[in-house]
Amino acid sequence: MTRSVSDPVGVELCWDRLAAATDEAASTMLGTAFPAITRESNGCTVFLMDRADCAMAEPRAGVPALMSSLTELVLERFPADDWQDGDSVITNAPWIATGHVPDIAMISPVLHRGRLVAFAGTVAHSQGIGGTPSMNAIEPLCEGVLIPSLRLFPAGWVEPGVKDLPSASVRRADQVWGGLEAQAAVHAVCRRRAREVLTDFREQDFEAFAAQVHAVTDAAMRAGVRDLPDGVHRAALDADGVDGHPTPIDCTVTVRGEEIGIDCTGGSPGALHDELDAERSTPPARTTCPAAVQHGGGAKGRPV
């Protein structure tokens, strides 16, 4: 029986289907990726986002990350009207992806009946991305080759020039390319399953579903925060950094009613080079995900 995503049961069924799709996609990654760190350490994540690049689902086992800011920046270079079915854009630029050069991010569109309805996103840790073999890298160029936002798979075909860029710059080209092929396989799973969900629920896109999901998670998060006493809480620690240059992290959490603010501006003023400053996606992921899981606003498979 088909349920509408406008009722709570329909939303839950659709949500579970999308979460299961990302679980299946993550299993595909772990089963096909060449790099051992991806297969054996779960060094990857998968995301399904609506066409406004807001998260809808992620796997229950994986690294929490927010792909929406990355997708937003990729869309500045590749507008929504320019995407074709089978396209995939890759980047490891530390300022817009995860901040870690060996992590290669991939974004693909999900088209349903000729319309852009969603995006699939993955991040996978590469076995090696070139660079200086040292634990004391003080700038991204020391970590490895930097890949700007490039279309690796236009309409499902390999762009030879883009493939050659990382392959010619790393020590284990077979490992890096095998990892990218695994990510492409994951995106194929996400596209297929997302279309099946829309067909089964007789929906044209994910707009109504995404609105319901974000309303539910927002309400759950606010309810959890209301249970906390109002106040200002502070904590600090010294993070791993470059020898001789400590990197303190100072976090202030402010709770007022149903709102919570997390401020890390009291920590390290910056890295040795501007290029090492934190990017836009990982800090929000590392703050909102633990807070949401702790206080009822989200969990694996549930967007925050």
pLDDT in tens, 160-196: 888 888 888 888 888 888 889 999 999 999 999 999 9
Average pLDDT over residues 124-140: 72
Q: Which residues pair with 239 in a beta bridge?
A: 247
Alpha-carbon distance of 67 to 121, in angstroms, equals 7
Domain boundaries along the sequence of the chain: 8-214, 225-295
Task: Show Cβ contacts of residue 236 under 8 Å, excluding neighbours closer than 6 positions.
Answer: 248, 249, 250, 251, 266, 267
Classify residue 73 as exposed, middle or buried by CB count within 10 Å of its CB (0-12, 13-18, 19+).
buried
Q: Is 89 helix (H, G, I), strand (E, B) or coil?
A: strand
pLDDT in tens, 215-229: 888 888 888 889 889
Q: What is the mean pLDDT of the chain?
A: 81
78-99 mean pLDDT: 87
Q: In what order do the strands lie in the sheet with 247-256?
A: 231-239, 247-256, 259-263
Amino acid at 216: V
- Statement: residue 75 has pLDDT above 90: no
Residue carrying the six token digits 């991305």: 129
Beta bridge pairs of residue 2: none
pTM: 0.83
CA distance 117 to 123: 21
User: What token pair was written down for 265?
Assistant: 């501006």
- Side chain identity, residue 61: A
Alpha carbons within 13 A on the beta-carbon side of 35: 27
